[in-house]
Amino acid sequence: MLAIRNARILPSPDVPPIDRGTVLIKNGKIARVGPDVAVPPTATVIPGDGRVVTAGFWNAHVHFTEPKWRRVRRRFSTLLEAQFHDMFTSRGFTTVVDTGSDPRITLRLRRRIDEGGLLGPKILTAGPGIYPPRGIPYYLRGTIPFYLRPLIPQPTSPRSARWAVRRNVFRGADLIKLFTGSYVERGVVRPMPEAVARAAVEAAHAQDRLVYSHPSNLEGTRIALRAGVDVLAHPPDATDGVDDALLQEMVDRKMAMIPTLKMFEQTGSASRDYLAPIYEVVRRFHARGGEILFGTDVGYMKDYSIEEEIQALSGCGFGPREILRSMTTAPAERFGVGESVGSVVSGARADLVVLDADPFENPLAFTQVRATIRGGRVLHLHP
């Protein structure tokens, strides 16, 4: 049994905080939460004095493509847990969404975590991405062995798109990732044929899988929208023609977006001429009520800090409650698990974060993680 005592509790973005509250955890779930919770003498207590408790964070866009994740079967748990700690759990992430990695890596990592032999976040995976014909991005070609390239899905017809989706799902994919617009060369985007994208989305939805899209530009965004994609894994970085009417249609069709703003600055360009239009798309989408999911593209991006992403979101007009929503309730509900995770309520899975300061007073407090707990197990505890 575990308890976090005498903390300020943020049950969810839309519920008033509980001051001097206690969270009691038993058998991996939140047994009780409130200001008058008795703590059994046998419970392990994490002091909450001056601290804040929220639901565990989601990172809705990650990858396991760095060399350190290879040969996962042979790696000791201590080494893998240190890597998880550096990348995710020390930053409050209890659930991560892999949007394109080698399933031989992600599925083995997930299996070891689920079996209890490895401490780490919940992993949801898309398996390999699905690309347009001859559409593997130029920035990935050098990382893919030549003998594997023919095996990467690049469907040319609706039938082959449905087959690619079914194969990914059969191999364990929790979602599907489409490149509706793929940078085959610098400045050159190859679109996925709309009929191919639509068939892939229909096949994924028939098996209750969400579909992410990497759009790149206006055409890739339109194809994603017409095909019925659920989440843009990034905003388009070539923003010409992305007008208010298109953004409103995305909102009306309940499409979510993952900004990944720090990624654009660090791997694209820090030029204001490049970044300002991307920020403006995110700002206008958000202002129209578009749903935002927090994601950083770590794994592709090697800097794991989330401070710059929080600052960028704040600069796009996001308040602390909206940032908290993007990290907790929004992704949980989007993935259909909002009844079990995403909020600090009795009966929910005990996925929790303890912060050293109140993010409602300063959003950068989201980066001041004292403890990360998943399913009642402590993944990170700063002394």
Asked whether residue 249 is assigned to any structural domain, the reply reads no
Asked whether residue 319 is assigned to any structural domain, the reply reads no
Q: Which domain holds residue 352?
A: 2-53+343-381
Asked whether residue 27 is assigned to any structural domain, the reply reads yes
Asked whether residue 236 is assigned to any structural domain, the reply reads no
Task: State how many domains the chain has.
Answer: 1
160-183 as b/e: b if 16+ CB within 10 A:
bbbbbbeebbeeebbbbbbbbbbb
Q: What is the pLDDT of residues 258-298, one digit of tens each?
A: 999 999 999 989 999 999 999 999 999 999 999 999 999 99
Asked whether residue 167 is assigned to any structural domain, the reply reads no
Asked whether residue 36 is assigned to any structural domain, the reply reads yes
Q: Average the pLDDT over each of 23-37, 69-83, 256-270, 344-358 and give the range with the smallest value.
A: 69-83
What CATH number does residue 41 fall under?
2.30.40.10
Name the token pair of 89: 């759990």
Asked whether residue 210 is assigned to any structural domain, the reply reads no
State pTM to two decimals.
0.96
Contact call for residues 239 and 221 (beta carbons, < 8 A): no
pLDDT classification of 148: cutoffs 50, 70, 90? low
Helices marked H in the chain: 77-87, 103-114, 138-141, 158-170, 194-206, 218-227, 244-252, 261-263, 272-287, 307-315, 320-327, 329-334
DSSP character at residue 56? P
Asked whether residue 34 is assigned to any structural domain, the reply reads yes
Q: What is the pLDDT of residues 334-349, one digit of tens each?
A: 999 999 999 999 999 9
